[in-house]
Amino acid sequence: MKKNTIGTVVWIVISGLLLTAGCKPSVRDLPDAGREPVIEPDYSGVTIPPNIAPMNFIIKEEGKYFIVEASSVNGYSKTVRSRNGVIRFSRGSWKKLLSESIGDSISINVISEDSKGTLGKYNTFSLFVAKEPVDPWISYRLLYPGYESYKQIVIRQRNIESFRENSVVENQLLKTNCVNCHSFCNNDPDKMLIHVRGSVGGTYFYDGKKVTRMDLKADGMKFGAVYPAWHPGGKYIAFSSNSIVQSFHASQEYNVEVTDLESSLVVYNTETNIMLPVDGSDTISYMETFPEWSPDGKYLYYCRAVETKDTSDFKRIKYDLVRKAFDEVSTGFGKAELIFDARSVDKSVSFPRVSPDGKYLIFTLHNNGNFSIWHKEADLYLIDLQTGKTEKMSVNSDETESWHSWSSNGRWLMFSSKRGDGLTARPYFAYFGPDGQMGRPFVLPQKDTDLYRRMIKTFNRPEFMTGRIKADPRDFGRASGTEALKARWGGAKVSSADK
């Protein structure tokens, strides 16, 4: 028989085994590998949202032919055949599988034929389908993982219910300047900003209709405004105003280190165009960075370290997690309250993010400094803000975990991880249960199952969005040709703690 004829017969036999009930031989009679198949990405045992794109994968096993049956608890099933191990589900059948499995699981069975023509099966593995959906869109900065070039930087948005994706900002249309720190108010795509550094520098605001270029370094400010955090009401945005320096070391452990020489917090009023300092009554000079509001707007969380002018001994720079009460009417702040004493455990904190219900806070913990993306030991930690209990999260790997974002319903966490190759960051998702328990994390599904292996660019600062950003790169390009509107300095502000 010809080779293609043999293949056809094999498919008929395997399909018959799967679809025929009560006939002998059955699937149960096939030789059993005694284990689950090795697949990439590894989706076995993960908890997924009911509105996620098809979880395509490749079977990393020896075999001439593969057949995969995905089944819902209600009896709906979809069969996918493959000669090369690549398994792709159609969007329609995948949506049907999800809808039939909400609150339960999708079972995946894999049968293969080896080079000798022997049929075999692997243990069934499952994907658990949560009841709560995830925000349908995400955005991220796509760039090369090195520090030496930023000639190709784009901010992309992706519909995670499908594989639809497009660019929002491209620095090729901004004179190849550096683009960073895209940020949203309550995951709202119509309340966003990005920073641009260089000849067309400024902070670009998008309100759902137009892009406006702003210069937030008001006269009276020593440094510019970076690392934004929107107040939940949308009126205020907290920033860190920093003097940042990069250090390069002949060390595999720390070949790049980003540190602050000086940093303080400021708050921008979007309605009055006034920038105010966040003053305090501390007798010790601190470097303050990475602000984050509580969802009720009553507290401003941030990271602080004792100020130093000597960054040569960068391993001694440790940031604690603190917060200050905020009075929205007077824009006054209370005294700093220590939330997590990282120095007491010889560690440092960055990237605090509070859950939408205000009960939890996740931060990145690493050995020193505040720029954890270069730290292999960086892990995610969870604080129960009601009890103060702090614990290392189960989603961590042996590689870098850094930036993270909450879905608007608080049931999904997206975080940046280098667990694939130690160099390029990918967006991972994990279910966050009502009791704080985490599901097994999974990487963002792609139509091309080989994409992550081939792509050398990194996914930076992934953020959830409740919808699509309607602006495109040309809108930001046109705004770059306008004169930046300069913010006004509000002068020295007396904090409520000093009154």
pLDDT for 391-431, tens place per residue?
Answer: 999 999 999 999 999 999 999 999 999 999 999 999 999 99
Residue type, 277: P
Lookup: tokens for 293: 């509001």
Backbone angles phi, psi at 15, to 5 degrees: -60, -40
Q: How confident is the model at residue 91 (pLDDT cuts 50, 70, 90)?
A: very high
295/339 Cα distance (integer angstroms) = 17
Structure tokens at 222: 């020593």
Confidence band of 10 (pLDDT split at 50, 70, 90): very low
More confident residue, 182 or 369: 182
Instruction: For residues 187 and 358, give the distance between their C-alpha atoms in angstroms, rounded to a whole number.
Output: 15
- Write down the mean pLDDT value for the chain: 89
Whole-model pTM: value is 0.91
Matching residue, tokens 């400021």: 266
Query: Cβ(440)–Cβ(429) under 8 Å?
Result: no
pLDDT band at 332 (very low <50, low <70, confident <90, very high): very high
What number of CA atoms fall less than 13 Å from residue 2's CA on the CB side?
3
Q: Is the pLDDT of residue 469 over 80?
A: yes
Confidence class of residue 492 from pLDDT cuts 50, 70 and 90?
low
- Has residue 233 got a pLDDT over 90? yes
How confident is the model over 212-216, as a mean pLDDT?
98
- Quote the percentage of the chain above a pLDDT of 70: 87
- CB-hemisphere CA count at 13 Å for 4? 0
- Mean pLDDT, range 261-284, rounded to an integer: 88
Identify the band that residue 324 occupies on the pLDDT scale cut at 50, 70 and 90: very high
Separation of alpha carbons 344 and 350, rounded Å:
16
Model confidence at 262, pLDDT cuts 50, 70, 90, reads confident
Q: In the structure encoding, which two tokens stand for residue 457, read together?
A: 């660019």
Least confident of 107-111, 177-181, 291-295: 177-181
Mean pLDDT is lowest, of 109-123, 245-259, 283-297, 450-464, for 245-259
What pLDDT sits at residue 254?
55
pLDDT at 208 over 60: yes
The two structure tokens encoding residue 315: 């391993």
The contacts of residue 203 (CB under 8 Å, 6+ apart) are 193, 194, 195, 196, 213, 214, 215, 216, 225, 228
The better pLDDT of the pair 31, 167 is held by 167
What per-residue confidence (pLDDT) applies to 307?
86
Is 70 exceeded by the pLDDT of residue 462? yes
Q: Is the pLDDT of residue 149 over 60?
A: no
Q: Report how far residue 233's alpha carbon sits from residue 329's, in angstroms, rounded to the nearest whole number.
A: 12
Sequence letter at residue 415: F
